[in-house]
Structure 1
Amino acid sequence: MGGITLTIITHKASSLNYGETVGNVSILKKVTLGDGTQKTFVSDKALKYDMRRKGKEEKGWKLLDELLKEYIEKSQKDGKLDVDEFGRNLVENYEEFDLFGGLFTNLKDKKNKEVSLSYGDSVKRVCAVKVTYAFSVSDFKGDMNFLNNIDAYNRYIKHIEGKKAQAIAQTEEHTSHYVYTITIDLDRVGVWEKEDGTREPILDPQKRAKRVKDLLDIVMTLNRQIKGRWENLSPVFVVGGLFGTKHPFFMNAVDASEMNGRLFLQIDRLRDAIDMVPENERSKVKIGMLSGIFINEEDIKSKLQAKSIGELFRELKQEVDNYYGVSEG
């Protein structure tokens, strides 16, 4: 048994996830804490969307699409959809389904006729990769941005759309580092779980390792595209590792605050979290840091033996190969 958990502080990024629009004002997603302060957040759905996007663009991942109809057709036996056959096909052919799971109800064939299932009332897969919300390090202070399209309006919009006035809008704005946790159940990747709970390997170890390493590459260079902007969500700090105990050890244990444009990391809190890792696995804890970000950088290096972000991910990918019993590649 084994799993990866990583808790990450991202680069500074601006206005990453909007929710409801009230009138002409775009509202950022945020939560209010017990002391009355507010933190903006990026939902797990938004983070996974950009992970899948990068997987398709950079790693050739196949995302769930209309071709599912073909898998429904070829997985039918005796007038029913063979759930296990259907699940095996999706795990093998769709990285999205394998890593991030899925739920299908009311499945229909090419003739739009509802399909009966060999068991259960749905086809479901528990996600092997789980992602938390990413919460801002700094507090939200209610900053706003006034927007208009006066340049485009004067040049062409009023001529081709016949509008009599420019468009006015406002958006809430917040720039901050963000903290989130990602966990990967290595035993579920490339495996189909049957109704009785038994697991059937679908991919060979080399392909299982590749899918996990591709995901780690994506996390290391994660970014978000929103409202015409690129925002960098790659890590400036990472703590985690590959452990036999599947647990997000460092969720809520990475406490950083911003001071004069740089971060200060609470080292003692993190060391207490490291002490909760089983003693025989404590040496597997890895810490990576980007230079020049933290005020107490020297303390982090000396007390936590922090290494570079790139070195941490290279070591972790090697451990993934070792876990699946394959050579590096």
Structure 2
Amino acid sequence: MGKSKVSAVTFTILTESPVALSNDQGFGNYTPIKKNFMSDGQHAITSVGTMTYEIRKALHNKGWNLSGIVLNVNSSGKITNMYSKAEDIESCDKQGLENDIMGFFIPDKQISKTSPLRIIPPKSLHTFKNNTQLITNRGFLEKDLERNYFNKDGKSYEGELPNTQALANEEIFGDYYVYTITIELNRFGVQEVKDGKYLAPKDRIYMDKEIRKEALKDIMDIICNLTRSIKHQTVLLKPLAAFGGAYESVMPYFWNDVNMDNENNLILDDIVETICSYDLNLENTIAVYSSRINTKIKNENKQNKEACEFINSGYPVKEIKSLVGKIDIDEDNQWYIKE
């Protein structure tokens, strides 16, 4: 069986959430969702920090030891900044994985590592419609629950209870979301700093192959089982479609190719165009959508027939895990995919 060298894995993933995935800074008793203006209007978004937080939390749940944190405190006892512990940054075993994969910055020494894991965070496919809901505290005022009520001085409250009382207003929005994860494999599991100094590329220290392969598998398993807990709800952001693969170039090829029409049909023309334009190796590529997603191709012709036929209904999670399972590290410490 042959193999080909690869430098990155990238997946653009379609998912769905019944709630907005991030809230913005509120004011008073009003909570807006995090949004961004684009050419066609406002879209709900999350931040890179939100995504990396969820990934770090999931890594910890998988048994990873996360880095120790140094807290800089001024003379008044106030924490001025924080950063990862130097020993953990220079660790070449599992203790150094978080810093290696997520990157770090030590301001005092001006030493940093750009994360080899890149996220283009979730964006809703449709525009926000300005929907809101009123949140009340009826559960605190229901007489049938037989609660005891008190004044702020601790004495029994003898007044009449209101029927309901508004607590807050919040914006609500459920939609399909799309995001992209790209991992630069040549810097994944590679120590770039030693004794507080940068290492030349030829002197960089590689973590054990099995550690690196396990880390890649864990990251992609987290993506396949990604959850977000927000507003008393836990949402499984399961991949409903996935487009990407393992490639020689570190490029998020499909990052802006996932679009839907007003009837929630997934438009595949941009996926086809990217496959054809970059002449992507189909053996290293997946382009799969769940059977619950309706799709449409507006412009099918002889030139793109192979790409059109390549995109199929199937099981995105299985396809992602199958492709990642074919990636291995050779004696030269480079990554390869079995053909």
Say whether the fold is shared (TM-score over 0.5): yes
State the match for 2:278 in structure 1.
277
Contact 1:275 1:282 in 2 (8 A): no
Contact 2:266 2:293 in 1 (8 A): no
Q: Please, which runs of 5 or more residues in structure 2 have no aligned partner?
A: 1-5, 72-84, 301-306
Matched, 1:159 2:150: yes
State the match for 1:23 in structure 2.
28
State the match for 1:76 in structure 2.
none
* Local SS of the residue matching 2:204: strand
Alpha-carbon separation, structure 2, partners of 1:173 and 1:139: 12
Counting only pairs closer than 5 Å after superposition, residues 150-299 of structure 1 correspond to structure 2 as 150-153=138-141, 158-159=149-150, 166=165, 168-194=167-193, 195-198=198-201, 200-259=204-263, 263-278=264-279, 281-296=281-296
Distance change >3 Å, CA 243–CA 158, structure 1 → 2: farther
User: Which digits, 9 at most, give the CA deviation of each residue in 1:283-305, with x for residues without a partner?
Assistant: 422112211222549x9984524
In the TM superposition, residue 84 of structure 1 has moved relative to its aligned partner by 8.5
Q: What letter matches 2:250 in structure 1?
A: K
Residues 6-15 or 193-202, more deviating: 193-202
More helix by share: 1
State the match for 2:75 in structure 1.
none
Matched, 1:315 2:322: yes
State the match for 2:113 in structure 1.
125
Contact 2:287 2:311 in 1 (8 A): yes
In the TM superposition, residue 258 of structure 1 has moved relative to its aligned partner by 4.6
Q: What letter matches 1:184 in structure 2?
A: I
Q: What letter matches 1:61 in structure 2?
A: W
Alpha-carbon separation, structure 2, partners of 1:212 and 1:303: 26
Contact 1:64 1:94 in 2 (8 A): yes
Alpha-carbon separation, structure 2, partners of 1:142 and 1:26: 12
Alpha-carbon separation, structure 1, partners of 2:93 and 2:170: 40
Q: What letter matches 2:100 in structure 1?
A: D
TM-score by length of 2: 0.76
Higher Rg = 2
Distance change >3 Å, CA 60–CA 196, structure 1 → 2: closer
Contact 1:192 1:200 in 2 (8 A): yes
Distance change >3 Å, CA 244–CA 303, structure 1 → 2: closer
User: Which digits, 9 at most, give the CA deviation of each residue in 1:215-266, with x for residues without a partner?
Assistant: 100000111001211112111000000111111111111222351xxx3122
TM-score by length of 1: 0.79
Alignment length (residue pairs): 293
In the TM superposition, residue 313 of structure 1 has moved relative to its aligned partner by 1.9
Alpha-carbon separation, structure 2, partners of 1:290 and 1:306: 6
Q: Please, which runs of 5 or more residues in structure 1 have no aligned partner?
A: 70-82, 107-120
